[in-house]
Amino acid sequence: MQTTDLPQADTDDIKAIREAVRGLCARFPGEYWRKLDRDRAYPTQFVEAMTEGGFLSVLVPTEYGGSGLNLTAAVAILEEVHASGGNGAACHAQMYTMGTLLRHGTEEQKRRYLPAIASGELRLQAFGVTEPTAGTDTLSIRTTATRDGDHYVVNGQKVWTSRAEHSDLMVLLARTTPKDKVEKRTEGLSVFLVDMREAPEHALRIRPIETMINHATTEVFFEDLRIPAGNRIGEEGKGLRYILDGMNAERILIAAECLGDARWFLDKATAYARDRVVFGRPIGQNQGVQFPIARNYVEFQSARLMVYHAAAQFDAGEPAGEFANMAKLAASEASWHAADTCLQTHGGFGFATDFDVERKFRETRLYQVAPISTNLILSYVAEHVLKLPRSY
């Protein structure tokens, strides 16, 4: 039995969404993704198809041109993309980055931007938070936004800003009050919606970073970039809360991608173990091959329960931080362990590009590091769930 055929507690709507996504992904087989990986190119055709299918606007309310569906629907979409052998990283931020605008923007801002984001006319995929000297220590970012009349002037640098070259808008976190002049360490940061189409070339520079995976990642430099004050989202100095507010959805959606990867690796490994005959018998008859795959399946199913529980909490408006973080950790480890087993099962063929195993192996390794590292999730659970002393 393939994992894609396993019984699920899906509603009829979710089942229909899964089937539609699988149909779309069938138009983009392994050859398509291998060529992109080889050329370090952006999957423009795939992103356009996802946009036209309405899959990237599922979380945008209907009054702004979206589908108005819940996070569980978005989870199903990204799980199926990855289970089909594709990669949603090129466009997944179109789903969740707009949440900052949706939850904390003014009605005028939402009316101005959300319909175009829902239609795909505007790409809101760049998330400008991480910096070279700060990493995940967001309170130590150095990019500043200084008020100058009806504008803010931005100076600084962001790194690992995925898809900046392929985005029209960026959600930017910058310091508006010096760190030594705030009452609380979490204050003094503000969020802005940057229209990169209008930015002068000298004021906003994008430099690609060559990487093993995630070929669309960049670093961005700001030099006296002027942003209209009307593009600030929410109150000045309260931006950290707005950014953190959207990270639960991000972590759950990334966990969904990991579930899809785990399914893909499990299906690939079990099929190969059945068909590959060595010493007159299928290699899958050997317990040394069986047991790792079986263990990976157990990990996958356990992670899957946690991911959909986290999504249900989020959809119900309940606090989802604990399960969003744990789901991301569990799913990323399930996918990574399944990847390792799949490669080992294929032996030398696992390194051959035509099998797609080595590509997916590299892709799923990212999720041990981003969008939040495994160690930071463990620190979160230790401190906020188990009430142990803060470790950093």
In the numeric block, the tokens 């009307």 are attached to 230
The structural domain count of the chain equals: 3
In the numeric block, the tokens 């070929």 are attached to 215
- Residue that finishes a domain, picked among 104, 119, 134: 119
Q: Do 248 and 380 share a structural domain?
A: yes
* pLDDT tens by residue, 125-155: 888 999 999 988 899 999 999 999 999 999 9
Instruction: Please provide the average confidence, as pLDDT, over all residues in the chain.
Output: 94
Given a cut of 90, is residue 172 above it in pLDDT? yes
Given a cut of 50, is residue 220 above it in pLDDT? yes
What burial letters (b/e) apply to 93-131, b meaning 16+ CB within 10 Å?
bbbbbbbbbbebbeeebbebbbbbbbbbebbbbbbbbbb
> What is the spatial distance between Cα 75 and Cα 308, in angstroms, rounded to a whole number?
8
Q: Do 292 and 373 share a structural domain?
A: yes
> What is the spatial distance between Cα 28 and Cα 36, in angstroms, rounded to a whole number?
11
- Looking at residue 245, what is its pLDDT? 84
> Residue 77 CB: number of other CB atoms within 10 A?
28
Nearest to 96, CA basis, from 208, 210, 257, 211: 257
Q: Do 55 and 42 share a structural domain?
A: yes
Given a cut of 90, is residue 119 above it in pLDDT? yes
> Does any domain span residue 390?
no
Q: Do 268 and 224 share a structural domain?
A: no
Q: Do 149 and 25 share a structural domain?
A: no
- Looking at residue 8, what is its pLDDT? 55
Given a cut of 50, is residue 1 above it in pLDDT? no
Q: Do 183 and 285 share a structural domain?
A: no
Given a cut of 90, is residue 45 above it in pLDDT? yes
Under the banding of pLDDT at 50, 70 and 90, the label for residue 9 is low
Task: Write out the residue range of the structural domain in which residue 63 sits.
Answer: 3-119
The C-alpha angle 371, 372, 377, rounded to 5 degrees, equals: 150
R_g over Cα of the chain: 21
> Does any domain span residue 392?
no
> Does any domain span residue 82?
yes
> Does any domain span residue 224?
yes
Under the banding of pLDDT at 50, 70 and 90, the label for residue 6 is very low
* pLDDT tens by residue, 326-369: 999 999 999 999 999 999 999 999 999 999 999 999 999 999 99
Paired strand residues for 139: none
The C-alpha angle 357, 359, 364, rounded to 5 degrees, equals: 90
- Looking at residue 7, what is its pLDDT? 43
φ/ψ bin of 157: left (φ > 0), alpha (ψ from -120 to 50), beta (otherwise) = beta
Q: Which of 250, 257, 299, 358 is catalytic?
A: 250
> Does any domain span residue 183?
yes
- Looking at residue 2, what is its pLDDT? 55
Nearest to 278, CA basis, from 270, 286, 269, 267: 286
User: Is 236 among the residues known to form the active site?
Assistant: no
Q: What is the mean pLDDT of residues 273-281?
A: 97
- Looking at residue 177, what is its pLDDT? 96
Residue type, 284: G
Given a cut of 80, is residue 288 above it in pLDDT? yes
Q: Do 257 and 162 share a structural domain?
A: no
Percentage of residues of the chain with pLDDT beyond 70:
98
pTM: 0.94
Q: How far is CA 330 from the centre of its chain?
A: 15
Under the banding of pLDDT at 50, 70 and 90, the label for residue 96 is confident
Q: Do 263 and 327 share a structural domain?
A: yes
Q: What is the mean pLDDT of residues 210-218?
A: 89
> Does any domain span residue 100?
yes
CATH classification at residue 170: 2.40.110.10
> Does any domain span residue 391?
no
Q: Which helix (H) or strand (E) holds 243?
A: helix 239-275
Nearest to 341, CA basis, from 236, 257, 270: 270
- Looking at residue 4, what is its pLDDT? 46
Q: Is the peptide bond before 371 cis (omega within 30 degrees of 0)?
A: yes
CATH classification at residue 339: 1.20.140.10
- Residue that finishes a domain, picked among 211, 237, 263: 237
CATH classification at residue 90: 1.10.540.10
What burial letters (b/e) apply to 22-31, b meaning 16+ CB within 10 Å?
eebbeebebe
- Residue that finishes a domain, picked among 102, 119, 136: 119
Q: Do 227 and 274 share a structural domain?
A: no
- Looking at residue 3, what is its pLDDT? 52
Q: Do 250 and 139 share a structural domain?
A: no
- Looking at residue 203, what is its pLDDT? 97
Given a cut of 60, is residue 305 above it in pLDDT? yes
Q: Do 83 and 200 share a structural domain?
A: no
- Looking at residue 369, what is its pLDDT? 93
Q: Do 245 and 209 share a structural domain?
A: no
Nearest to 205, CA basis, from 243, 167, 262, 157: 157
> Does any domain span residue 336?
yes
> What is the spatial distance between Cα 256 and Cα 234, in angstroms, rounded to a whole number?
29
